[in-house]
Every structure is written in structure tokens, then in C-alpha cells.
Amino acid sequence: MRRKEKEIQQPELIRRIMDEAQVCRLGLCKDNVPYIVPVSFGYDGSSIYFHTALEGRKNDFLAAGNRVCFELEHEVAIVPHTDLGCGWTCSFYSIIGYGSVEELTDAAEREQGLQQIMRHYSGRTWTFQEQHLQHTRVWRLRIEQISGKQSKDKLGA
């Protein structure tokens, strides 16, 4: 990271950002064409879980290669400057990471992945109806590398 003073080095802060972020963006590539897509997600400390429909562009890109990049941000706010256009900035926390994605095909693993997603947003456990599971693919992104960055005003938070 070029701006070392902004690097998040506390694992507990990275975990908090991951726990509180609302959207995860996946960076995928197929035939040398990049694709970024926002997904709902769950995080268990080492992996990110997300789901897709049975077919679609996301699935086509995932089938082309399982290496992905991901990004999340939290507490983003514009900080205006009254006199200078170049004085405007942002207040933020952000996470960028890399990993490999695999589809979960075992029924118990699929359920666990969906539970992780729902716990992220609701804080509770759910019962899934088989008719809905039949139309859903569940994926695990195993995190291999992760880093965090924060704006100057967030340092020491």
C-alpha cells in the first residue's frame, strides 16, 4: 500500500468493517473482459459467502475462472471544502482482497452458506424452503489476501 499511514493493521478493525459493510463487490474476468458486481454476502472470518440464480452473467464469469478480487467499504461520507474544489475528500473505511471461489453443492454446506449471509443482515438463523433452494446457487470465496485502508480522520478508531 502506497499510503502506509492509512493502512489498517488491526485484524479486529478489518473484522468489524466486514461485519458492518452492507455490500461486497466482486471483481471477475472472462475472456479478458472485467466485470464488477455487487452481492449480498456473509463473512465467517476466513471466507465470504454469496448466492446467485441458477443462470446469469455472474455465473458465466465465475465459470470462466475462480480467481476473484473483492471490495467493501463502510462509513463513507463526503467531506466538502468551502473554498477549494481540490480540498474535498472522503471519510471511509475500505477493504480489498483476493481469493478463489467455489460453488457449494453439498446440501449442508449450501445451508451453512445461506445462514451466514442471512446472519450478516438479520443476526438470526432462518429456515429455507426446498423450493427456494432449488433456484439458488451458493458460493464460498476463500480469502487468500486482504488489506484495509482508512481515511485520515478514521486513524486510531
pLDDT tens per residue, range 39-97: 999 999 999 999 999 999 999 999 999 999 999 999 988 888 888 778 888 889 999 99
**Is pLDDT above 70 for 121?**
yes
Report the topology of domain 4-152. Pnp Oxidase; Chain A (2.30.110)
pLDDT of residue 7: 81
**Is pLDDT above 90 for 153?**
no
Closest by CA position to 70, among listed 38, 46, 42, 92? 38
User: pTM above 0.85?
Assistant: yes
Distance of CA 73 to the CA centre of its chain: 9
